Amino acid sequence: MASRAELRPVSRLDLSLDGVALTAQLVDIPSVSGQEAPLADAIEQALRELPHLTVHRDGNAVVARTELGRPERVVLAGHIDTVPIADNVPSRRQGDLLYGCGTSDMKSGVAVQLRLAATVPTPNRDVTYVFYDCEEVEAARNGLGRLARLHPEWLEADFAVLLEPTDAAVEGGCQGTLRVDVITAGRRAHSARSWLGRNAIHAAARVLAILDAYQPRRVVIDGLEYREGLNAVRVAGGVAGNVIPDLCTVTVNYRFAPDRTEEEAFAHVKELFSGYDVVLTDSAPGAPPGLDKPAAAAFVRAIGKPAQPKYGWTDVARFAQLGVPAVNYGPGDPNLAHTRDEHVRVAAIAECEERMRAWLTA
């Protein structure tokens, strides 16, 4: 059987480059979700050349570990896939900005991981570097989720940092999210004889009124205030231009603080829409920040900026399910992720690497 290298040519990564140049190299190896193999090959090859790391691979996920016997282990994790390319590969530098698909989300963060893996051979904590696939697509394909199912021992740690884009600020934990369909029923009739029917779209107005009057919670956890949100994100109904509709669906997205479980969040939404048919269509748990843990507190001190809450869902929630407190910290700007002119500040890449190096060597 042919080896992986014989089946696919491998682009080499130069880990001696600075973080900006290495980010450009990573961007220039296209890795749209499901097509990460060439980049995973390059990362694996580069890490296997470092004698202080033990390297594992599962599919297109690569895991490298120090084995120094330190009393504490931390995980640095990042996904290597991107959304579809929008005429923004190869990378290009313009002044203090580096442009290209994935520069912000999150190949600049991956570059920081690789630089630390290469240049900090004896960190003060044992480190597990995780590079995984298929984060930008449906959860069932997520590479970190696959590792958690198949190789949970690879992810065991006291603390984790996900190098998602945060514009070089620490964002603790993440919100949970769920979506439900709130369904209103009516009776179909000819629109010329509307009194013979009952309009399900009109009935949806009461659902929208509940949402409009809703006062979302603000919850403080580990000193961080998480603001919840409950919003209609889609309304679907109607049969034809001359028919009174007998069905209407309002899709509602609930972003909930990490002090609630998925079950508690769903129960809250069902209670709010009591009397309606409420169907759960998607759900993911939140993650508490865990900033009271020594490793997390030391990390925040090393970064030198106050931690902020994470508004949105990230894979820190997967670490929380494994009992590992986690934060988000990376050089990219989340507001630029997935955009055609996606870019990252050069200074942010250097800042993240410098501060994380200080944390791992102090």
**Measured distance CA(334)–CA(171) in Å, rounded:** 12
Q: Which of 105, 133, 135, 342 is catalytic?
A: 135
**Measured distance CA(344)–CA(342) in Å, rounded:** 7
**Measured distance CA(208)–CA(139) in Å, rounded:** 29
CB 20 within 8 A of CB 350: yes
The residue behind tokens 């507190």 is 297
Write the CA distances from 225 to 30, 127, 257, 300, 309, integer angstroms: 38, 30, 9, 16, 6
Write the CA distances from 313 to 2, 45, 53, 344, 359, integer angstroms: 40, 31, 31, 21, 25
Q: Which two tokens stand for residue 287?
A: 């993650």
Is 81 noted as a catalytic residue in this protein? yes
Q: Which of 36, 41, 44, 81 is catalytic?
A: 81
Smallest CA-to-CA distance from 330 within 117, 49, 77 is with 77
Is 292 noted as a catalytic residue in this protein? no
**Measured distance CA(66)–CA(63) in Å, rounded:** 10
Catalytic residues, by residue number, are 81, 135
